[in-house]
A and B are shown apart, each in its own frame.
Chain A
Amino acid sequence: MFKQPARYSDVMLTLLVWLATLLVVGLFAWLVGDLILHGYSKLNLAFLLDVPQNAGREGGIAPILVSTLLILAVALLATLPLGLATAVYLSEYTNGALANGIRMSLNILAGVPSIVFGLFGNALFCIWLGMGFSIWSGGLTLACMMLPLFISTTESGLSAVTNEWRHGAAALGLSHTAALWQVLLPAASPAITAGLMLSIGRALAETAALIFTSGYVDRMPTSLSDSGRALSVHIYDLSMNVTGGDASAYGSALVLIITLMVISGIAVGLTNRFLSQRITLS
């Protein structure tokens, strides 16, 4: 489709685009390279299975990994249904003032600094709802932060699906529910996947909010109402607070990145499984 005789402006754009991508990949390589340089010595099975010792400088991060995954699970359990429902409502059911109002609210929520969310989560979940420092509080606070991101991208994806598809579905006699599930959501799946990946990334990367809600305790959680230290909080404590914690901090950062890759891989796989098999956009 693209075989044309090359013109000057074409070559310029190609060059520009390649350069931009190379720059981005280069920066990424620099960053991750630095992490690997400082942290690879900590990457072994013992690190993943042991408990932290000596304020985290020795031993492993097993309880912290478990806490992080539990917090993420709680956050996703809250975000996915709420987010999908709101995005569907915004794109299919409302228009005008109400939709704009909700959209504005979401954008404002997206711009609230993470530390304010931490204080909010502390006030609402820890104190007012009485959950205290716990995985519940951390997960629900993270859900508040993930929602605007997820809803924006999902709604954007749904709105981008042309009305012809909806008319076609109606003409075929499909109910709204069927049209949604069989036609619209699959068509919007690139955007939903992007939103999911960004949200999971944001959740795993969040530090300030979790210090005030899920806390600092590095013990293996035995219930969701236990306080549990998230990986990002652990990295923060080791690099900024504990003397000599740098190596463990970098090691934990590498583990976090690998965890992110694994979880995103699963999330993308599941989304493709559920949605894309019905419709392929060439």
Chain B
Amino acid sequence: MLLTEADVKNMKLTIKIAATLCITVLTLGSSFADTQKLVLTGSSTVAPLALEIGKRFEQRNPGIRVDVQSGGSTRGVNDARTGLADIGMASRALKPTESDLTSYRIAMDGIGIILHQDNPVQTLSDDQIREIYTGKISNWQAVGGEDRKITVVNKAEGRSTLELFLHHFQLNNPEIRAHVVIGDNQQGIKTVAGSVGAIGYVSIGTAEYEQTHGTPIRLLAMDGVAATVDIVRAGRFPLLRPLNLVIKGAPNALALRFITFAQSQAVDDLVTTQYFVPLAR
């Protein structure tokens, strides 16, 4: 096969590209094993907070790397158990079946009901909320609002927010008649913000932030207690959830240092900027 000039040029280009790629791969292909690594997996709610705490920990402890992965609270608990992760993250308290693990709380969060800004309804009693969510009330007129269908927004099964909501209002998931089922907090906020007749429940810190930044939603008082971050901090809000780091057995030295750091006042500002509530001290 005769080689044309173009062929030669192309072969030279190919060799150059291949050489660059090979050099890139070879220099990057090896990992540096002399740094200590801490792996956290679990709740995607806790993950951004853990990420920021990890970065500050790395700054103060050079030579240590903190890798945070998400995957859900259940995954965090399982990974902590099997050793795939050094520390698990969970946005809930440990269940009785998980008594072989220890949990260390690093922040608190409240769960509040949100409505659309243009919805004239100002308060809802616990009974009314129950009836809305079980489908017995389907029009806002029945609770003092306009003539508009209620769009019930519920969280998907397995989420700790759902379980806490159900527990507080003493409902079972099969009893709920939802119109929209959401996965993440922000999906809930965007759904309620997009539909005047919608009702949902989200983290209070998140909702407060969105409210002050122009998203058309409004937090509702629960049981007569206003839904604000300050009230959650004072521990007076009826629906609370803990954000935990979980470990199996006794933590090793590095994990212990990290947990102590995460529970200390040094990270309170990080907790607040993630719109959670720092631990009361």
Contact = CB atoms under 8 A, between A and B. Distances in A.
Interface of A: 54-56, 70, 73, 77, 133, 174-175, 177-178, 211-212, 215-219, 221-227, 237, 239-244, 273-274, 277-278
Contacts of A223: 28-32
A174 B6 contact: no
B275 interface: yes
Interface of B: 1, 6, 10, 13, 21, 24-25, 28-32, 44-45, 47-49, 51-52, 65, 67-71, 183-187, 203, 205-206, 209-210, 213, 273-275
B1 A175 contact: yes
Given A55-B49, A222-B32, A225-B30, 13 more contacts: A54-B273, A55-B48, A56-B48, A73-B24, A77-B25, A177-B1, A222-B28, A223-B32, A224-B28, A227-B69, A241-B48, A241-B185, A244-B210
B1 A174 contact: yes
Contacts of B49: 55
A250 to B, nearest CB: 13
Contact of A241 (B28, B47, B205, B210): B47
B25 to A, nearest CB: 7
The 8 residue pairs across chains A and B that have the minimum distance between CB atoms: A55-B48, A240-B184, A225-B31, A243-B206, A223-B31, A178-B1, A240-B186, A216-B69
A77 B65 CA distance: 29
A55 B44 contact: no
Query: Which has the most chain B C-beta neighbours within 10 Å: A77, A212, A237, A273?
Result: A237
A278 B6 contact: yes
A241 B213 contact: no
Contacts of A70: 28
A242 B68 contact: no
A226 B29 CA distance: 9
Query: Which has the most chain A C-beta neighbours within 10 Å: B47, B67, B213?
Result: B67
B37 to A, nearest CB: 10
Nearest to B9: A273
26 contacts: A55-B273, A70-B28, A73-B21, A133-B69, A174-B1, A211-B71, A216-B47, A216-B51, A216-B69, A217-B67, A217-B69, A222-B32, A223-B31, A225-B31, A237-B44, A237-B47, A241-B47, A241-B70, A241-B184, A241-B186, A242-B186, A243-B205, A243-B209, A243-B274, A244-B275, A278-B6
Contact of B70 (A56, A216, A277): A216
A225 B21 contact: no
A64 B274 CA distance: 21
A216 B68 contact: yes
Query: Which has the most chain A C-beta neighbours within 10 Å: B31, B48, B67, B71?
Result: B48
Contacts of A54: 52, 273
Contacts of A221: 28
A223 to B, nearest CB: 4
A217 B66 CA distance: 9
Given A177-B1, A241-B44, A133 B67 contact: yes
A179 to B, nearest CB: 10
B14 to A, nearest CB: 8
Contacts of B52: 54-55
Contacts of A174: 1
B31 A244 contact: no
Contact of B25 (A224, A227, A237, A240): A224
Nearest to A274: B10
B10 A273 contact: yes
Given A240-B187, A243-B274, A244-B213, A215 B32 contact: no
Contacts of A243: 185-186, 203, 205-206, 209-210, 274-275
Contacts of B68: 216-217
Nearest to A122: B71
A174 to B, nearest CB: 7
A35 to B, nearest CB: 15
Given A223-B32, A239-B186, A273-B10, A55 B67 contact: no
Contacts of B206: 243
Contacts of B210: 243-244
